[in-house]
Chains A and B, each alone.
Chain A
Amino acid sequence: MTAPAIECEGLGRSYRQRTLTGGGKETVALADLSLRIEPGTVFGLLGPNGAGKTTTVRILSTLLTPTSGAACVLGHDVVREAAKVRRDIGLVLGGDRGLYGRLSGYDNLRYFAALNHLPPAMARQRIDTVLGMVGMADRAGTLVEQYSRGMKQRLHIARGLLTDPQVIFLDEPTIGIDPVGAQELRDLVPQLTAQGKTVLLTTHYMFEADQLCDTVAIIDKGRLVALGAPRDIRQRFSRVGVIELTLSAPRRGLADELRRLQGVERVTASADGPFERLTVYTPPDAAFAGCVRAAAGETGVVSVVAREPTLEEAYISLLR
């Protein structure tokens, strides 16, 4: 068995805030998180805002010390051997900030290369390589303050790859990026794992996690709720069953009628070309297809299909 790239054992992080009366209020950001991430894989960390995703990334990247438990990155403890961890990680935080706006993209990379002690010749070579990887070679001479949001994000990623790290933390890398740009950034991830690198990705986009991740962990209120491959999450952890009813024409009142069926959790309606699609969410493993077909009748029904929930539907069912 190969050594894991990242390993957490009972990792916890709480914050203590002093109140006006002199007492203390403890907030638990992360509780008892245990993970094992294999080298050369993409690990997705999902969860709502405030779940503890960024806290986890900050602990693993040595920016924050845990209040309980332990974590190792490439065999080095993140607290006691922080300097060794930092040599082999790349951190991509994204956003509009985190870059020097009055310097060009190239100068930003040159600066961070120097901070990371890359010799000048190697720095030049790495800068050219990473700019090529993110498709920014022709805009590297422009001042960052003139970059679009997507260009800044590419530069963030380029900076994160500058030292050719073995482990890369991508914190919501495609947030706020247009669909084409976002897909181009996603296409980078398999290239990284093909080089044997390990990627820990946090994201709100379920389809992104579904597309990219070998393993996904869902955390909520600082606790691990589900862990497994995206398919496993959909099949084993999901707390919802899904039935899709396709009608040849919209039918008023049918959605309300379906909602009144005992056991149905919710019904959503959407247009699918000329058709109307009603998606019925039920408890898992429940046989509702017959009830739905009976309620819909025979006229105007194109299909009634029980399907596997998407990762997003599974995620929502876990967190509700």
Chain B
Amino acid sequence: MTAGSLRALLAVVVLQGRQALQPGELFLTTVTNVPLAAMAAWIATRSADPAKFTHVAFGVILLAVWNSGLFRVGAALEAERIEQTLDLSLTSRTPLLTILLGKACALTLPAACSGVASFLAVVVVGQRLPVVEHPLVFAASFALAWASVLITAFLFTPLLALTRGGAGVFGTVAAFGLVFNGFLYPASALPPAVAWVARLLPAPWAMDAALAAASPAGDPALIAPGWLAALTLCAAYLAATAWLFTLVERRLRVTGSLAAG
């Protein structure tokens, strides 16, 4: 990535972030996931195992990032088209992938606010703080889980633009992600017939590593494989996203629109 592209990426993050962080919308985004987080917290308090509460407490942050971020990130390309800034992005010197990656990063800032609010809701409803045994390893694993969620959501930016997926598709993808990303329970809690789906996502692997680091009874042997699997999948998802962006640009230049055929 050249210095120019790096500057462009930074400019996108800063300026698109300012577009996204409007007070009214920010408040709405912040509180959007609080009811769901509060319900998850209440469910978690049915268990005597503090590790399960810890899972939910941090899982709701990622849940909020996914729920609030997916639609914004996934619709970023379509938003560029509607706002008629896509042509200007295409004719600039910065690759479309870089511009949309910056936009995705910027659009998760409001989602992060929602994550914090959701975490606080869990603490209030659960009337306790989550316990973390190995904070540094946990923090690194959690950051990896966060990045995993963002990278998974980013895949949908070109994918849904190419398939013209609308609001309905986003809602279902979001729900699939809630079920399979391991926010409220580990992938091992899924029915065996579908647990393999979760193993194709990077976030559940990173969450396994994070929770192994958080819980005193956690298995440290899960941390390294969790990291390896999450990083490998993230790399694969990014490569797929980059390839999809080349398809987007090709379709735009050949057909004149994002519509197929």
Contacts and interface: CB of A to CB of B under 8 A. Distances in A.
B22 A114 contact: no
A111 B18 CA distance: 12
Interface stretch (B9-17, B66-74, B143-151): B9-17
Contact of B91 (A15, A61, A107): A61
Interface string A109-123: 011101111011000
Contacts of A102: 18-19, 22
A18 interface: yes
B232 interface: no
Contacts of A111: 11-12, 15
Given A63-B253, A103-B19, A111-B11, A97 B83 contact: yes
A25 to B, nearest CB: 11
Interface size class of B (residues with CB under 8 A): 20 to 34
Contacts of B10: 114
A117 B88 contact: no
B93 A116 contact: yes
Contacts of B8: 114-115, 117
Interface in A232-285: none
Interface string B98-132: 01000000000000000000000000000000000
A86 to B, nearest CB: 5
Interface stretch (A35-43, A88-96, A178-186, A191-199): A88-96
A212 interface: no
B83 A98 contact: yes
Nearest to A99: B85
A114 B90 CA distance: 14
Contacts of B167: none
Interface residues of A, number: 34
A115 B85 CA distance: 12
Nearest to B82: A97
Nearest to B89: A115
A15 B90 contact: no
A120 B94 CA distance: 16
A117 B4 contact: yes
Interface in B214-261: 252-256, 261
A65 B7 contact: no
A100 interface: yes
A102 B25 CA distance: 13
A110 B87 CA distance: 17
Contact of B18 (A17, A64, A98, A103): A103
A61 B87 CA distance: 9
A87 interface: yes
Interface in A1-48: 15, 17-18
A62 interface: yes
A75 to B, nearest CB: 18
B87 A91 contact: yes
Given A15-B256, A62-B253, A102-B19, A115 B87 contact: no
B253 A117 contact: no
B84 to A, nearest CB: 4
Nearest to A83: B93
B84 A98 contact: yes
B155 to A, nearest CB: 23
Q: Which of B12, B19, B91, B256 has the most CB of A within 10 A?
A: B91
A58 B93 contact: no
A126 interface: no
A159 interface: yes
Nearest to A13: B256
Contacts of B92: 86, 112, 115-116
Nearest to A29: B256
B2 to A, nearest CB: 7
Contacts of B188: none
Contacts of B256: 15, 58, 63-64
A119 B11 CA distance: 12
A98 B93 contact: no
A62 B2 CA distance: 22
A115 B92 CA distance: 6
Contacts of B163: none
Nearest to B20: A102
Q: Which of A89, A111, A115, A117 has the most CB of B within 10 A?
A: A115
A114 B253 contact: no
A118 to B, nearest CB: 8
A17 B88 CA distance: 26
A110 B15 contact: yes
A116 B8 CA distance: 8
22 contacts: A15-B256, A17-B261, A62-B90, A63-B87, A63-B90, A63-B91, A86-B91, A86-B92, A91-B87, A91-B88, A97-B82, A98-B83, A98-B84, A98-B85, A99-B85, A112-B88, A114-B7, A114-B11, A115-B92, A117-B5, A117-B93, A120-B7
Top 9 A-B pairs, shortest CB-CB distance? A117-B4, A114-B11, A97-B84, A115-B92, A98-B84, A111-B15, A117-B93, A114-B8, A115-B94
Given A89-B91, A114-B8, A115-B11, 6 more contacts: A93-B87, A97-B82, A102-B18, A103-B19, A111-B15, A114-B12
